[in-house]
Amino acid sequence: MPQTLNDTAGWAPLALASDIMTATSAGTVWNGDEIVIWRDSAGRVHAWEDRCPHRGMKLSFGFVRGDRIACLYHGWEYDSAAACRYIPAHPELDVPATIRVARYKAVEALGMIWVAPLDQPGPAPVDQTQVNALRSLQVDAPLARLTQVFVTHGLPGLGLVRDVVADGAVIRLTQGAVRLVAGLHPVDDATSMLHIAVEGACTQQALAALVPATAALRRLAETGVAGAA
Amino acid sequence: MMTNPTLWNYDLDDACYRVRLMASLSGVTLDLRSVDAFPGNEHLGDEMLALNPLGRLPVLEHGALTLCQTEAILLHLARIGPRGAAFVPSDDAGAARMRDWLFFGARDLAAPSQARAVAMLGAAGDAGALNHAARHGLRLLEDHMTAQGFRGQGFVAGARATVADIALFPAFALCRDFNLDHDAFPALRLWARRVRQLDGFITMPGIPDYH
Ligand code: FES
């Protein structure tokens, strides 16, 4: 029996995979915790606490070199196992192995980057279905409200919502000929994100035409009115 | 106009940075005249007010010209610089789009610069209202660049960088200076990366140099 995302409790989608390019980093927040997501130059994805052990600055402001991420502030470099390997102020130093960044588990599935605590038991998401990334939408509303608006209205203006399936941290629904899949990402008590993609064949032109409807969803979730300015 | 243009410049002013960046990308050498805008308020002194009664930087002098509007300065540099023509579309539609986004930056995306000036440079203003307006404007730009991505167009007015991208870039690149994170703007993050990769790109404090 194929895995459903209900089997992967504890994992959350925190980005669209295509938004994190090779050798780049980005910050995000998950339930109030700051996380840096980065890809090394081989394309592997990593998720760590977004905090440099040196003075606590955000690693997401830093830059990727090869299989390391370097902190912007004083250049400390961390390898893909999150161990500090180089301190520019002391280039001759054999860096103590105890200097480490707190890590999360990170995998790619369903066109999204999924993250879980390092001690999360149970399986990781494995669905490698190709999807068409639409966008990550940040909304000033708790996830429960955004989810409720999304399952009711989909992307406003695209027509009646059908075939809603909630599967773990993902919701699928259909409007007209468009099958949407959205990853649910709680940012904090007042903010949430949807990482939205389209399943099945879809032209770039059709994706571009969906962007205004995503902005309408944001307005509807934030103000209760889709059409207001 | 044989001589280099003179830029009355304050390094931490994002509008002055737009001018330095456009000059560098266009291949124009500027003579920089330093103005202690903060904390010295020299831009409000008699000498600078005689040059620009608006009491604002940047000011560009070039021969008999004195220009006080950032966007006009950018267009002038693109016109006189040996590499500047690349930043002005030659087709009517492209040029019209460039101007549309240029005016968007001047009018609808003015708040980020003001919010930053309040947060960092001691300017007067309602920080809460400015931050809110800044985020709204950047969301509109994020929506636009998301759609541009699907159109295969990496910049605001088309597939190539124009003067409009240079005018808009600091509004996003410096928004952490007033505590607005980049997290909610993945399309702008990718766009800013493309701007950084332009030949002749230069940074300013707050825009890290990591290439
Ligand atoms: S805070 Fe990261 S290197 Fe100093």
Q: Tell me which residue of A90, A99, A48, A55 sits closest to A69, measured CA to CA.
A: A48
User: What percent of chain B clears pLDDT 70, i.e. is strictly above it?
Assistant: 98
Distance CA A32, CA B208 (A): 26
Judge whether residue A22 has pLDDT over 80: yes
Give the DSSP letter of residue A164.
E
Query: Maximum Cα–Cα distance for chain B, whole Å?
Result: 51
* Domains, chain A, ordered by start: 12-117 (2.102.10.10), 131-223 (3.30.310.220)
| Beta strands, E only, B21-180 | 31-34, 59-62, 65-67
Residue A229: the pLDDT is: 41
Is residue A61 in contact with ligand 1, taking CB distance under 6 Å? no
Pocket of ligand 1, candidates A49, A52, A65, A85: which has the most ligand atoms within 8 Å of its Cβ, to mutate?
A52
Distance CA A172, CA B155 (A): 32
Judge whether residue A18 has pLDDT over 50: yes
Judge whether residue B140 has pLDDT over 50: yes
Judge whether residue A70 has pLDDT over 90: yes
Judge whether residue B25 has pLDDT over 70: yes
Judge whether residue A2 has pLDDT over 70: no
Q: pLDDT by residue (tens digit) across A115-163?
A: 999 999 989 999 999 999 999 999 999 999 999 999 999 999 999 999 9
* Minimal Cβ distance to A135: which of B146, B182, B210: B146
Residues 101-160 of B with CB under 8 A from A: 139, 143, 146-147, 150-152
CATH label, B88-196, candidates 2.40.30.10, 2.10.240.10, 1.10.287.130, 1.20.1050.10: 1.20.1050.10
In A, minimum Cα distance to B182 occurs at: A27
- Main-chain phi, psi angles of B174, to 5 degrees: -105, 10
* Minimal Cβ distance to B182: which of A27, A72, A205: A27
Give CA angle at A28 (A22, A34), nearest 5°: 120
Judge whether residue B28 has pLDDT over 90: yes
Q: How confident is the model at residue A1 (pLDDT cuts 50, 70, 90)?
A: low
Say whether A63 and B210 touch across the interface (CB within 8 A): yes
Q: Tell me which residue of A229, A179, A218, A228 sits closest to A201, measured CA to CA.
A: A179
Judge whether residue B1 has pLDDT over 60: no
- With a threshold of 0.80, does the pTM exceed it? yes
Residue A228: the pLDDT is: 45
Please compute the mean of the pLDDT values over residues A192-220 and round it to a whole number: 97
Residue A97: the pLDDT is: 87
Tokens of B24: 């560098």
Judge whether residue B19 has pLDDT over 60: yes
Is residue A135 in contact with ligand 1, taking CB distance under 6 Å? no
Please compute the mean of the pLDDT values over residues B177-203 and round it to a whole number: 96
**CATH number at B6-85:** 3.40.30.10
Domain ranges of chain B: 6-85, 88-196
Which atom of ligand 1 lies at the shortest distance from residue A71's CA? 2
Mean pLDDT of chain A: 94
CA neighbours closer than 13 Å in the CB half-sphere of residue B89: 22
B6-85 and B88-196 have identical folds:
no
Residue A152: the pLDDT is: 97
Handedness of CA B112, B115, B120, B121 (dihedral sign): positive
Tell me the one-letter amino acid at B138: L
